[in-house]
Amino acid sequence: MPVTPEQQAEIDALRSAPRQTLRAVSEGMESHLYTAYPVLDHGFVRVIDYMGDDAAICQAARVSYGKGTKSVQNDEGLIRYLMRHWHSTPFEMCEIKLHVKLPVFVARQWIRHRTANVNEYSARYSILDREFYIPAPEHLAAQSVVNNQGRGEALTGDEAARVLDILKSDANRAYDHYESMISEDGQQGLARELARMNLPANIYTQWYWKVDLHNLFHFLRLRADSHAQYEIRVYAEEICKIVADWVPFAYRAFEDYRMGGETLSAAALDCVRRMLKGETVTQENSGMSAREWRELQEVLG
């Protein structure tokens, strides 16, 4: 189950005891606070705490840039200006702390985003639950023949059944051995810190992950992208929904300039200018490599 009865009791207790505060409050985020949103088959994402809102971004920007922002007429316009011109520190004034339950192999991707604070469930101290990520049939895909780190067509029929059986049986067999090693018929078993090395990468772990908004946007730009691995993308998409309610002005600017925008190289921009003047531009006279040219064509549709 995504949330244990003990965790649900803690969530219910926290949500039933609101407190008066003088700190900045985002009404959109308050509706999400502590709620566990299911992800994959046993995972979840929930907000434990947060700091700041759209106004905090503007407050920091006006302190930092002074007269340089006086021509901006409203907070949303200022935030869009900051996002458009790649300012970072005003967005760092907002922070979020998430409790995430996720498969270990997803955690190993996630942890590559190093500009965050992380505290993970300790399998040296505690015993991991018998919970494994098993892909739904539609996400059980073959290796892509054009992308070494991507997926191709979904497996079907006997092959899909064979793979699912291997995933389930191997995971349970490894956990059976894990249990037997840490408790040998009432005798003192193998140390937990050693026994855990036999567990598969699809077992679930949990952590608290605290990050500022600037670095969270970088995470979301990469992991909520359609090219990201499905298993981490669904976590990023769930976080996107939360952030959209937390800092709506900043999130809309992020969608426009980062998720929906494109960055062109000097050579690519020169090609676009020549095209607008009516010049016939080809890969041969563009000054770009074949791959760069292909990517520009994809951007231009």
What would the two tokens of residue 75 be? Answer: 């907070």
Rounded to whole angstroms, the Cα distance separating 299 from 276 reads 15
- 245 is annotated as contributing to ligand binding: no
The DSSP symbol for 132 reads B
- 127 is annotated as contributing to ligand binding: no
- 23 is annotated as contributing to ligand binding: no
- 213 is annotated as contributing to ligand binding: yes
- 111 is annotated as contributing to ligand binding: yes
Catalytic residue, chosen from 19, 23, 223, 233, is 223
Can 258 be counted among the known catalytic residues?
Answer: no
- 27 is annotated as contributing to ligand binding: no
- 15 is annotated as contributing to ligand binding: no
Contact partners, residue 64, CB within 8 Å, separation at least 6: 89, 90
Q: Are 217 and 47 in contact (CB under 8 A)?
A: no
- 81 is annotated as contributing to ligand binding: no
- 124 is annotated as contributing to ligand binding: yes
For the residues of 156-210, what is the DSSP string, one character each? -HHHHHHHHHHHHHHHHHHHHHHHHHHEETTEE---HHHHGGGS-TTBEEEEEEE
What torsion, rounded to 10 degrees, do the Cα atoms 239, 85, 249, 116 define?
A: 30
Catalytic residue list: 223
- Tell me the binding residues: 89, 109-114, 120-124, 196, 212-214, 218, 223
Q: Which residues are annotated as a binding site for dUMP?
A: 109-112, 120-124, 196, 223
Binding positions for FAD are 89, 112-114, 120, 212-214, 218
